[in-house]
Homo-oligomer: A and B are copies of this chain.
């Protein structure tokens, strides 16, 4: 069977979305995704449906949200599931949608990612505290902030990574976000390195600008068999490679290393191998910058630079919009925002737009091969996809 192709992808405006309900947010994303097809897709052609959502029970008092999707979009899919893999729910949904399509159960699959968090920040924070190992770690005081801060401290000690390098990730991503009208901090514009470095402390060494925000938002992606793709778009984007792995750990304590993410390296290896491509072939990437240190470690473990050289990679401007490998052109989780369930498919949407030449003021010239990376927990679970405007 041919490769699987993306034929539509869209995101809502991210940010504080008190103007819409959870359902309206889902519908808005699907409308955006459909708008990006050629209009030939009929609802009864959608045979698979995945909804990626992390905390709907806690945050909007609604479970069973994949069946909500059936109702909203008038679907009777042959394969349907809500996927919850915390912050990586969206890309885990894509991995399942890929398998569903490849298995022959569905020719066209709709993937929707969604989270509404800003109306109750305390509850959203509580939800995030349920993601790592609650019994063994969260109950003893570790949070996402302090957990990733441990990794930052160790990376600084081990490789000489600096606070300035971390803040540079924030500066770059706010620069990109200021060029993305869908980004949460679009209207706040660019920030200076001085501003990024002098913000209030959150968890040493992280200050406010090292951390991604709470966000409302949704995203949607439509995939189909490669040989059917041109029925729905003149610009299919092919899933050339895909990989997923976990640590045999839910918390930081059982990880082999907190500065060299083995599960990410496994997921990346699967994706590169399947795509028959190498890190130097990647022209644009969306990676999981939940904290600035994460993006730096990802440069390394995705193979964009050597281990320990992630700090230098950002310092040298390699990952900036005009660099050798622009990363998080959308603004990333940092400036575009991080509506948990929506993030993975929003990353895929950004790369799809880049490969279609539709990224406007943040377009990477002539990009034909892009990568997405999405993680969850204390970097204990990773999903990598390699996309291209050309089939293999």
Query: Which residues of A are at the interface with B, using a C-beta cutoff of 8 A?
Result: 21, 23, 49, 54-55, 57-58, 61-64, 66-68, 70-71, 73-86, 92-93, 95-96, 98-100, 102-105, 127, 130-135, 243-251, 254, 263, 266, 270, 376-377, 380-381
Contact = CB atoms under 8 A, between A and B. Distances in A.
Given A62-B130, A63-B55, A376-B67, A82 B79 contact: no
Nearest to A376: B64
A75 to B, nearest CB: 6
Contact of A102 (B57, B71, B103, B133): B103
Given A84-B84, A92-B80, A249 B63 contact: no
Given A84-B64, A85-B64, A100-B99, A77 B246 contact: yes
Given A71-B254, A80-B381, A248-B70, A86 B63 contact: yes
A71 B254 CA distance: 8
Given A63-B86, A71-B254, 9 more contacts: A57-B127, A62-B135, A64-B376, A66-B381, A67-B250, A75-B248, A80-B245, A96-B96, A102-B103
Nearest to A101: B103
B381 A76 contact: no
A271 B338 CA distance: 39
B98 A103 contact: yes
B86 A64 contact: yes
B96 A79 contact: yes
B100 A96 contact: yes
Contacts of A62: 130, 134-135
Say how many copies of this protein the assembly contains: 2
Contacts of A134: 61-62
A64 B105 contact: no
A237 to B, nearest CB: 19
A246 to B, nearest CB: 4
Contacts of A250: 64, 67-68, 70-71
A359 to B, nearest CB: 30
B92 A133 contact: no
A144 B237 CA distance: 43
15 contacts: A61-B134, A62-B135, A64-B250, A64-B376, A68-B250, A70-B246, A71-B133, A76-B248, A77-B244, A78-B270, A79-B95, A80-B245, A83-B83, A99-B103, A102-B103
A15 to B, nearest CB: 23
B57 A130 contact: yes
Contacts of A63: 54-55, 84, 86, 127, 130-131
A75 B245 CA distance: 9
Contacts of A127: 57, 63
Contacts of A93: 81
